[in-house]
Amino acid sequence: MKLDILAVGSHPDDVELSCSATLAKEISRGKKVGILDLTRGELGTRGTAEIREKEAADAAKILGVSMRENLEFSDGFFTNNVAHQLEIIKVLRRYKPELVLCNAIDDRHIDHGKGAKLVADACFLSGLRKIETIFNGNSQHAWRPKNVFHYIQWKNLTPDVVVDVTGFMDKKMESVKAYRSQFWDEESKEPETPISSSNFFDSITYRARDLGRLVNVEYAEGFNVNRHVAVDSLFDLI
């Protein structure tokens, strides 16, 4: 299967919180989208790896993605090294995404910045044909995504690119709510965390609304890039 977009998160729920409205919009236009989780989020204060696996599968169904896989790297401790890069390269060469969306370059959780660099490095290395990888007994061809976008998550980073996601926030919130163990739930007996407050839950909508306000649409999601974004004509931006 070939993908148009592969969205990668260090933890299950990173993608839903940060760029799922963008994904839902592209899926509605017929694009093929997949999600790759680097860890099972086993160090998360609330829930368990098993619960989060089920929640991630529910969220994937809600968004209508074509695949979701988990590389089971060690939550909190994975590093940007050859072994981890090769695992991601194998996925990139299998699904050949045109675009990769991945974690924020700088964020509160240490795995986010780490995951951002690891995935961006793997996207570059995947294009080098002398790096040999094998999948199902077959050697894989080199593949480099055309661009890598870093979605914005916890911190209010200044975006380089903003996507109008008006009309897709309901789908986004439905996918976020699939993570019942993680977010605001008045009945929950689990310990409170920075992401379990009602303010955090509301912030997903009000931050998208505020970003939308700045670009004159109702809701928006923002991204950072490592490379300048180019357009054919400035008129493409009006």
Position 171 contacts Zn ion (CB under 5 A): no
Sequence letter at residue 140:
Q
> Would you say 11 or 94 has its CB closer to Zn ion?
11
Q: Which stretch binds Zn ion (CB under 5 A): 18-26, 78-86, 91-99, 101-109?
A: 101-109
Span interacting with Zn ion, options 11-19, 74-82, 163-171, 187-195, rule CB under 5 A: 11-19
Retrieve residue 143's tokens: 């593949």
CB 9 within 8 A of CB 65: no
* Smallest distance, Zn ion to C-beta of residue 38, A: 9
Cα–Cα distance between 47 and 56 in angstroms, integer? 12
Count of residues binding Zn ion (CB under 5 A)? 3
**Identity of the residue, 116 or 211, whose beta carbon is nearer to Zn ion in the bound complex:** 116
Q: How far is the CB of 174 from Zn ion (least distance, A)?
A: 19
- In the bound state with Zn ion, the residue whose beta carbon lies nearer, of 33 and 102, is 102
164 forms part of the interface with Zn ion (CB under 5 A): no
Site for Zn ion in 103-122 (CB under 5 A): 109
Q: What residue number has its CB nearest to Zn ion?
A: 11
> What crossing angle do the helices spanning 49-63 and 169-177 adopt, rounded to 10°?
160
Q: What is the DSSP annotation of 47-94?
A: S-HHHHHHHHHHHHHHHT-SEEEEEEEPTTT--SSHHHHHHHHHHHHH
Give the Cβ contact number of residue 160 at 10 Å.
16
Contact 81, 228 (CB under 8 A): no
Virtual CA dihedral for 174, 175, 180, 184, nearest 10 degrees? -60
Least Å from the CB of residue 117 to Zn ion = 15
Q: Which is nearer to Zn ion, 20 or 126 (CB)?
A: 20
- Applying CB under 5 A, among 5, 6, 11, 65 the residue interacting with Zn ion is 11
Q: How far is the CB of 10 from Zn ion (least distance, A)?
A: 5
Q: Could you tell me if 78 and 114 are in contact, meaning their C-beta atoms sit under 8 angstroms apart?
A: yes
Q: How far is the CB of 52 from Zn ion (least distance, A)?
A: 11
Please report whether residue 14 would count as binding Zn ion according to CB under 5 A. yes
Q: Tokens 């300048």 label which residue?
A: 228
State which residue, 70 or 126, has the beta carbon closest to Zn ion: 70
Nearest distance in Å: CB 103, Zn ion: 7
Supply φ then ψ for residue 89, to 5 degrees: -60, -40
Apex 10 CA angle, 84 and 102, nearest 5: 95
Residues that bind Zn ion (CB under 5 A): 11, 14, 109
